[in-house]
């Protein structure tokens, strides 16, 4: 999870282990590396649909791809409630070993490609 604030981005993940333990870890910034933008023809918001997620502490390097791209929840008459909720596939490495999986991406707020320029510096 990563809130994008006026002055930057903080990123964390909650890792859940098979035995039920949970562990919160810091991630490298995510949104500055977001790719494959999809623009909603209804709300006119643009959402990233591909993310690169890295955690040095746990040695994982993952790519998250939303598929299909068209997964906006649109609230006609209430455009500020519109947001992206996307089923996604995960590929990458964890501890040097290849991994695959599934996840769910939720993107809330007014998104566009230009607002993220500050994170790509």
Mean pLDDT (whole number) for 39-44 = 85
The reported pLDDT for the residue numbered 80 is 74
Mean pLDDT (whole number) for 76-97 = 89
Mean pLDDT (whole number) for 37-47 = 86
| Confidence check: pLDDT of 83 > 90 | no
The structure tokens listed for 86 are 């996307």
Mean pLDDT (whole number) for 14-38 = 90
| Confidence check: pLDDT of 121 > 50 | no
Question: Which of 1, 5, 8 is CA-nearest to residue 120?
Answer: 8
> pTM of the entire structure?
0.82
Mean pLDDT (whole number) for 8-36 = 87
Q: Per DSSP, which regions of 19-114 are E strands?
A: 22-26, 35-39, 46-55, 60-66, 72-73, 83-94, 97-107
Who contacts 68 (Cβ-Cβ below 8 Å, separation ≥6)? none
The structure tokens listed for 96 are 């040097």
């Amino acid at each position: 999870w990563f809130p994008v604030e006026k002055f930057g981005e903080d990123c964390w993940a909650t890792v859940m282990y098979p035995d039920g333990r949970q562990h919160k870890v810091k991630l490298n910034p995510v949104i500055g590396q977001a790719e494959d933008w999809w623009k909603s023809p209804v709300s006119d918001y643009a959402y990233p649909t591909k993310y690169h997620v890295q955690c040095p502490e746990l040695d994982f390097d993952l790519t998250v791809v939303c598929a299909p791209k068209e997964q906006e929840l649109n609230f006609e008459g209430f455009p500020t409630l519109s947001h992206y909720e996307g089923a996604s596939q995960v590929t990458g490495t964890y501890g040097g070993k290849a991994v695959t999986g599934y996840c769910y991406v939720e993107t809330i707020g007014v998104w566009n490609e230009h607002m993220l320029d500050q994170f790509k510096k």
